[in-house]
Structure 1
Amino acid sequence: MAAQLDSRYPSIDDLRNKAQKKIPRFAFEYLDGGCNEDVNLHRNTSELRDVQLKPNYLRNHNGSSMKTKLFGIEYDAPFGIAPVGLQGLMWPNATEILAKAAFEHNVPFVLSTVTTSNIERISEITEGKSWFQLYHPAKDALRDDLIKRAAAAECPVLVILCDVPTFGCRPRDVRNGLAMPPKMSVANILQVMGKPEWAIQTLIHGQPGFANLLPYMPKGLDLKQLGKFMNDTFSGRLNEAKIKPIRDMWKGKLVLKGVASEEDIEEAIRLGIDGVIVSNHGGRQLDAGESSINSLKRLVAKYGDQIEIMMDSGVRSGPDVARAMACGAKFTFMGRSFMYGVAALGKKGGNHTMSLLKTELQQVMEQLNCATVEDFKDHLI
């Protein structure tokens, strides 16, 4: 697809700065922040950017291709859009905007259980190419129904999340009333009044809610009841007893997201998982944890020939994708970068961010004299 770049925003940092000006502070801080003191949030990107790559200028070069095969499907780039909860809070209709951009650019879009568009609508937009990420429900009946819906929608990959056994301590969200149960304070209302475009778009598209869960919610829930419903509905701690029924039911590819240790990846391999996403939830769960790039290096060295190993958390740009691929990632995912784009540029933000990242990655490949994404490892210093 031809690049659709807005020259006013030639970097992800430019999009982030614009997004901060366009959306209410509570929405931006929900998107931008990590947990506790943000140590692992910053470690993710800083340690990834310590990775250095070696160019080979005098070799023959016949062009570079970003095309990447994953689970038998060829994608146009080695990155996709990570699952993000409550996308419509950051920008109204963000989920559909980004799903459409992913489809047009032929990269994966991963839909979160707790975002603001449902499985069926996103499958329609992506012609059955979107992935679905499952927060594990407390009740088997709800789990089974969500999986059946994902199968009926022809999702090729089911992603199960293992790194949210408990919700991270996020001081900004607590101050802003975005903990459970959520609340809309006077300060939040004043913030909304100061962002008229966001407010108008929210009126047009409706108040964001958990679209996938609407069929299971009692009607007329107030905010306190919503908090109780969410706490009662999900049980984030996974184990063999919870994973095996999913593996038995799901006939497509199954991915475990949130892996950071040898013990967990060995269990994933034993249980017949097809791939793992090395991740620390974007630094939003465990501030004392290891950066995702360091977890990736260690796990690829030991298990890279046994299971497909992907990565998210800390990946923000095309050069970051190149660094992760050089360290052995089969594929990468980004959440915040795409959300900055859509919050900054609305319906044009998805295509702009996709084009920007592709342009950056293509430049790195040409500069290194790297013909394919599989060759990145040959340029690792």
Structure 2
Amino acid sequence: MKEIKFDGRYPSVDDLRNHAIKKIPKFAFEYLDGGCNNDVNLIKNTKEIRDVELIPSYLDQHLGSDMKTELFGHTYDAPFGIAPVGLQGLMWPNAPEILAKSAFEHNIPFILSTVTTSSIEKIGEITQGKAWFQLYYPAKEEVRQDILDRAWAAGYRVLVILCDVPTFGFRPRDIRNGLAMPPKMSLSNIIQILKRPEWAIKTLKYGQPNFQTLKPYMPKNLDLAQLGKFMDDTFSGRLTQERIKPIREKWKGKLVLKGVANEKDAKSAIALGLDGLIVSNHGGRQLDAGESTLMPMKRIAQLYGDQIKVMMDSGLREGPDIARCMASGSQFTFLGRSFMYGVAALGEKGGDHTISLLKVQLQQIMDQCGCAKTADLKNHLKL
């Protein structure tokens, strides 16, 4: 078990966020920090989680708390993992490698996104095949199958398929910043980079970020306009039941559907033979007029929690948020921005610091409530 030790100068995720603002260019921070449209759903996600109250237990005997949580035949050291995040290397150079290594050492799951900046093979090597892989649905069957073959060969045994991106979210900050991959070198963006010399130097060291997993399928020397067309042509958007069926037939490991936001889709996932759901609204980055993640998760967990693993992401920031979601019915949780704030703020030490911080926070909540294990948190939910 990895020693739990964090930097006392940054004892909260808000501290990490405030430091991250000073470390990375504005266009990269706004991509990480923002939601879509007017950020209504982004704000609501965290607010409604934090409206959940827990009831402590002080006079009953309590011999200690154990955060270990079994999921898909593996016992993790904590009931949370690192959610998939696109363009991680844009926000901090080498970020996916840093976070994957920390996740492996702390024995929690790391989910690699198709559109982040490290390859299936590299993360598989770092995690000894213990990582999960998130698939954006490719339009071409040969590309889809090759990606799945690569993931299996690299040791991945949990595949996460994404259903909440039938269209890309409307994100005003990114439009204003001209965000692309690589970012457009407008005068404003160049000035932002010059103000962040450590980020610039490390970017030179590790190379310009790009879509490493997709490189074998991309024509060489794409300009920005061609890259956009390639992405539109490669990913056909809406993930239907008919598109899930052949993936279920071919993938021999655990199959998880991410982006579920209603009971109907959850019921369909069970009928298709999936192993788990991640109730999610993409961190509030897709549908500003939608529900917070907590609300559908509670309903889905109540209806189907005994038939399929119900997990969630979106809106969780700190250890108490993990406890609130577990108490509300989630069997496991994932955080994205918290870990990216950590690595942007502290670089190579950011992953270890953030995981350790969340573990300490969650342990304190469990001890206050008198929970011997994470499954006991539901017994302390204030109804």
- Which TM-score tier does this pair reach, normalised by the shorter chain? over 0.9
Letter aligned with residue 70 of structure 2: K
1:303-332 alpha-carbon deviations (Å, 9 max, x no partner): 111110000000111000000000010100
The residue aligned with 2:221 is: 220
Q: How does 1:1-381 map to 2 (within 5 A)?
A: 1-178=2-179, 183-381=184-382
Letter aligned with residue 251 of structure 1: K
Aligned mates of 1:206, 1:194 — CA distance in 2:
19
Letter aligned with residue 272 of structure 2: L
Letter aligned with residue 50 of structure 1: D
1:262-294 alpha-carbon deviations (Å, 9 max, x no partner): 110011001001000000000000000000011
Local SS of the residue matching 1:129: coil
Q: Is the 8 A contact 2:263 2:296 kept in 1?
A: no
Local SS of the residue matching 1:138: coil
Structure 1 unmatched runs, 5+: none
Length-normalised TM-score, structure 1? 0.99
Aligned mates of 2:318, 2:346 — CA distance in 1:
17
Q: Is the 8 A contact 1:86 1:116 kept in 2?
A: yes
Local SS of the residue matching 2:52: coil
Distance 1:162 1:78, change over 3 A: same
Q: Is the 8 A contact 2:339 2:351 kept in 1?
A: yes
Q: What is the Cα deviation at residue 6 of structure 1?
A: 0.9
Aligned mates of 2:109, 2:223 — CA distance in 1:
35
Local SS of the residue matching 2:101: helix
Aligned mates of 1:264, 1:154 — CA distance in 2:
29
Letter aligned with residue 372 of structure 1: K
Aligned mates of 1:289, 1:178 — CA distance in 2:
25
Q: Is the 8 A contact 1:181 1:226 kept in 2?
A: no
Letter aligned with residue 126 of structure 2: I
1:202-258 alpha-carbon deviations (Å, 9 max, x no partner): 000000000000111111111111111111110120112110110011000000000
Local SS of the residue matching 2:298: helix
Length-normalised TM-score, structure 2? 0.98
Letter aligned with residue 367 of structure 1: Q
Letter aligned with residue 20 of structure 1: I
Letter aligned with residue 196 of structure 1: P
Aligned mates of 1:282, 1:270 — CA distance in 2:
26
1:84-126 alpha-carbon deviations (Å, 9 max, x no partner): 0000000000000000000000000000000000010001000
Aligned mates of 1:181, 1:69 — CA distance in 2:
39
Aligned mates of 1:287, 1:38 — CA distance in 2:
7
1:328-353 alpha-carbon deviations (Å, 9 max, x no partner): 10100000000000000000000000
Q: Is the 8 A contact 2:323 2:365 kept in 1?
A: yes
Distance 1:158 1:103, change over 3 A: same
Of 298-307 and 156-165, more deviation after overlay is shown by 298-307
1:110-168 alpha-carbon deviations (Å, 9 max, x no partner): 00000000010001000000000000001111000001111111112000000000001
Aligned mates of 1:262, 1:3 — CA distance in 2:
38
Letter aligned with residue 304 of structure 1: G
Q: Is the 8 A contact 1:247 1:254 kept in 2?
A: yes
Aligned mates of 1:181, 1:130 — CA distance in 2:
26
Aligned mates of 1:288, 1:181 — CA distance in 2:
30
Q: CA RMSD in A?
A: 0.9
Of 357-366 and 219-228, more deviation after overlay is shown by 219-228
Q: What is the Cα deviation at residue 181 of structure 1?
A: 9.3
Aligned mates of 1:272, 1:95 — CA distance in 2:
30
- Aligned length, in residue pairs: 381
Local SS of the residue matching 2:274: coil
1:67-97 alpha-carbon deviations (Å, 9 max, x no partner): 0000110000000000000000000000000
Of 178-187 and 78-87, more deviation after overlay is shown by 178-187
Moved over 4 A (4+): 179-182
Q: Is the 8 A contact 1:181 1:224 kept in 2?
A: no
Aligned mates of 2:309, 2:171 — CA distance in 1:
31
Q: What is the Cα deviation at residue 180 of structure 1?
A: 7.9
